[in-house]
Amino acid sequence: MFDIDFNLVIEQLQYQSDSPMIFSSGIFLFLFLAFALIYNSLGKADTLRILFVTLFSYYFYYKSSGLFFWLLALVTVCDYFIAKAIGSIGKSGAGKTLVALSLILDLGLLVFFKYTNFLGESICTLLTNWGIHVPSSISGSYLLGVTWQHRNIFLPVGISFFTFQSLSYTIDVYRGNIKPLNRLLDYAFYVSFFPQLVAGPIVRARDFIPQIRRPLLVTDKMFGMGVFLIIAGLFKKSVISDYISVNFVERIFDQPDLYSGLENLLAVYGYSLQIYCDFSGYSDMAIGIALLLGFEFPKNFDSPYKSQSITEFWRRWHISLSSWLKDYLYISLGGNRHGKFRQYVNLLLTMLLGGLWHGASLNFILWGGLHGLFLCIDKVWHSIFPAASPLTYLPSKNAPAPKKNYLIALLGGLITFHLVAACWVLFRAPSFGIAEQVFHQIFFKFEPQIFLQWCTSYKAVALLLLLGYVLHLMPESLSEKTQKLVSRSPLLVKAMLIIALIFLVIQIKSSDVQPFIYFQF
C-alpha cells in the first residue's frame, strides 16, 4: 500500500552539506512533529525529557554541521567543569586564571575555525607592505616567503553563538551573578537547546537555567503566542526575505555596474528588509518553538527601523548580541566610567570587534567601525543638543517626560535608517570593490526616470518590499492587536493559517530553501 524508499529516508536523515536543516525546511517540520509527540509524552519525567531534548539538539546540530558536533560537546564539558571550579574558589587569582582558560578555549576555537585564513592573509600582507621577507625554513608549510596559502577550514554553523553563550556562563559564575550547575546534563541542555543553537538569540544562563527543571507547562497564552511567532517568522523568511533576495537583491549585488543607481538603491532597501526579515524571522521561530516546549526567551528584535538614532537602533536590533557586547566587552573595557574620551574609545573597540564577530573580512570590520563612529557622534550630539532627540533617550526617574517633537523624530528616523542601510552595503557586498560600485552607481548614475519601468518589471518584488516595510513600521498598538487576534484564535484557525502560509510559500518558491543569513556567523 505504501511504497516507501527507506534508502531515501535514511539519506534525508543524514547530514547533507548542501542543505543544512533549518526551521523552514520540510524535514525539520516532519521531525519536529515526531519530536513534539515524544516530548509531551515524557511529561513529569524531567531528567528523561531533558536527556531527550539534548540528544535531539545534538542531532539537529549534526544535520547542520555534520560531525563537528564534537566542538559543541567540547565547549560544554570544559566550561561546565571550569565553572564548577570557579564556584569553589571564587574571585581569587586562580579564579581569574580559570576564566582566562575559558576565554582561551572558546575564543581559540572561534579564531581557528573562523579567522585563521583572514589573520594569515592580513599578517602576510603587512609583512609584504613593510618589506619583511620570511625564510621558508621559518615560515613552515603554510607561509612561503610572505604568501599565505589558503587553508580549507570548515566553519561549523553557529559556533559564534554557542561559544559566546557558554563563555557568558563562566564569566557570570566568576562575577557571582549565578551559581554553577550541579548536573552536566542540565548544562548540556542549556548550551545545545536547538531552537537557538545555530543562530541565536544568545540566551543568558540566568534567564534560562531556572526554567530547566521547572514542571512542563505550556499555557494557552504561550501556545497561542508560539504559533503566532512561528507563522510570522516563516512569513518573514520564506515569503519576503527569500523572494526579494533570489529575484532582485542577489542580481544587483552580483554585478551592480550593470544596473542603474536607482536599482542599486532599491537593492540596498531590499537587502535592509531581507536581512531583517531573515534574522528576525529566525528569532521569531526560535522563540515560538521554545514557547511550545514551555520555555520563554527574551525578545531579540524590536522594530529596529523605527529607530531615531544609532543608539536606539542597537537597543532594538539583535538585542541579545548587543546586550552581550555591552555586558561582557564594553563594560569590561571600562564602559563610561573613565571619562568621555575613554567611553568613545571603548564604543569604537566594541563595535569593531562586533563587526569582526560577524565575519572574517575588512568589510565587516569597517561596518562595525562605522557603527561605532555613529554611536560616538550620537553621544556627542546628545550631550551638546539634548533637546534635539527627545524621543531617543529615556529621561531620569524624577524628570518629566520630554515633549514629543515629530519633525525631529521623522528626520532622526530617516537619517538613522539611511545610515544603517548604507552600512548594510558593506555587510552584503562580497568585496569592498563591489560596495564601491554600488555607491558609485547610486551617486553618479541614478536614472530616476526608470522607476515606473522597474515597478512594472518587478511587480512582486515591489509589492513585497512595500508590504514588508508597512508591516514593520505599523504602530505598536496595531501590531499587538494582531498578535492577540491570532494567538487567541481557535486551534482550527491557527492550523488553517499555517496551511495557507505553507501553500503560499510553495506558490512563490523560485529556488531551493535559502539558508538563514546568520548561519555563516
Cα separation of 316 and 510, whole Å?
32
Identify whether residues 181 and 100 lie together within a single domain.
yes
Whole-structure pTM value: 0.87
Q: Which residue has the higher pLDDT, 218 or 501?
A: 218
Identify whether residues 24 and 128 lie together within a single domain.
yes
Identify whether residues 171 and 232 lie together within a single domain.
no
Last residue in a domain, options 216, 240, 274: 216
Residue 485 has pLDDT above 90, yes or no: no
Domain assignment present for residue 371? The answer is: no
Q: Which residue has the higher pLDDT, 358 or 434?
A: 434
Mean pLDDT over 406-416 rounds to: 86
C-alpha cell, 28: 525539520
Domain assignment present for residue 128? The answer is: yes
Last residue in a domain, options 154, 185, 216: 216
Identify whether residues 208 and 229 lie together within a single domain.
no
pLDDT digits (tens, 9 = 90+) for 306-344: 999 999 999 999 999 899 999 888 888 887 788 788 889
Answer left, alpha or beta for residue 504, where phi above 0 means left and psi between -120 and 50 means alpha: alpha
pLDDT of residue 189: 94
Residue 92 has pLDDT above 90, yes or no: no
pLDDT digits (tens, 9 = 90+) for 178-207: 899 999 999 999 999 988 887 768 888 888
Residue 304 has pLDDT above 90, yes or no: yes
Cα separation of 38 and 300, whole Å?
29
pLDDT band at 18; cut points 50, 70, 90: low
Domain assignment present for residue 383? The answer is: no
pLDDT of residue 54: 93
Most confident of 2-11, 212-221, 363-372: 363-372
Q: Is 147 helix (H, G, I), strand (E, B) or coil?
A: strand
pLDDT of residue 176: 87
Which range has the worst mean pLDDT, 159-168, 227-236, 488-497? 488-497
The number of folded domains in the chain is 2
Which range has the worst mean pLDDT, 41-55, 197-211, 367-381, 491-505? 491-505
CA 210 to chain centre: 24
Q: Which residue has the higher pLDDT, 348 or 334?
A: 348
Does an H or E element contain 201, and which?
A: none
Identify whether residues 210 and 84 lie together within a single domain.
yes
Query: Which residues, including other chains, have CB under 8 Å from residue 315's CB and lie 6 or more apart?
Result: 302, 307, 322
pLDDT of residue 398: 54
Compute the Cα dihedral for 316, 386, 415, 430 and give only its sign. Answer: negative
Q: Judge residue 339's burial from the number of C-beta atoms within 10 Å of its C-beta, 0-12 exposed, 13-18 middle, 19 or more buried.
A: exposed
Domain assignment present for residue 410? The answer is: no
Identify whether residues 211 and 226 lie together within a single domain.
no
pLDDT of residue 395: 46
Q: Which residue has the higher pLDDT, 449 or 16?
A: 449
The residues assigned a catalytic role are 358
* For residue 201, cis peptide bond before it (omega within 30 degrees of 0): yes
Cα separation of 169 and 163, whole Å?
10
Identify whether residues 261 and 206 lie together within a single domain.
no
Q: 166-191: string of b/e by CB count within 10 Å (b at 16+)? A: bbbbbbbbbeeebebbeeeebbbbbb
pLDDT of residue 114: 84
Identify whether residues 163 and 244 lie together within a single domain.
no
pLDDT band at 513; cut points 50, 70, 90: low
% of the chain with per-residue pLDDT over 70: 84
Last residue in a domain, options 216, 238, 256: 216
Domain assignment present for residue 342? The answer is: no
Residue 182 is classified by DSSP as S
Identify whether residues 197 and 91 lie together within a single domain.
yes
Which range has the worst mean pLDDT, 145-149, 171-175, 215-219, 470-474? 145-149
Domain assignment present for residue 10? The answer is: no
Cα separation of 134 and 114, whole Å?
25
Q: What is the mean pLDDT of the chain?
A: 83
pLDDT of residue 67: 81
Q: Is 148 helix (H, G, I), strand (E, B) or coil?
A: strand
pLDDT of residue 518: 60
Residue 90 is classified by DSSP as -
Structural domain boundaries enclosing 510: 222-304+430-520
Domain assignment present for residue 131? The answer is: yes
Query: Which residues, including other chains, have CB under 8 Å from residue 35's CB and lie 6 or more apart?
Result: 56
Most confident of 25-34, 160-169, 259-268: 259-268
Q: Which residue has the higher pLDDT, 338 or 103?
A: 103
Domain assignment present for residue 330? The answer is: no
C-alpha cell, 198: 545555530
Q: Which residue has the higher pLDDT, 135 or 92?
A: 92
Q: How many helices (H) and strands (E) does the chain have?
A: 23, 2
Identify whether residues 166 and 41 lie together within a single domain.
yes
Mean pLDDT over 492-496 rounds to: 77
pLDDT of residue 144: 45
pLDDT digits (tens, 9 = 90+) for 253-267: 999 999 999 999 999
Q: 293, 123, 299: which is closest to 207 by C-alpha?
A: 299
Mean pLDDT over 432-454 rounds to: 93
Q: Which residue has the higher pLDDT, 24 or 261?
A: 261
Query: Which residues, including other chains, have CB under 8 Å from residue 308's CB and lie 6 or more apart?
Result: 389, 391, 392, 408, 409, 412, 413, 416
Pseudo-torsion of CA 85, 90, 96, 101, nearest 10°? 10
Which range has the worst mean pLDDT, 14-23, 66-75, 256-265, 441-450? 14-23
Identify whether residues 197 and 273 lie together within a single domain.
no
Helix 184-192 to helix 46-65 angle (10° resolution) is 40
Identify whether residues 48 and 127 lie together within a single domain.
yes
Residue 136 has pLDDT above 60, yes or no: no
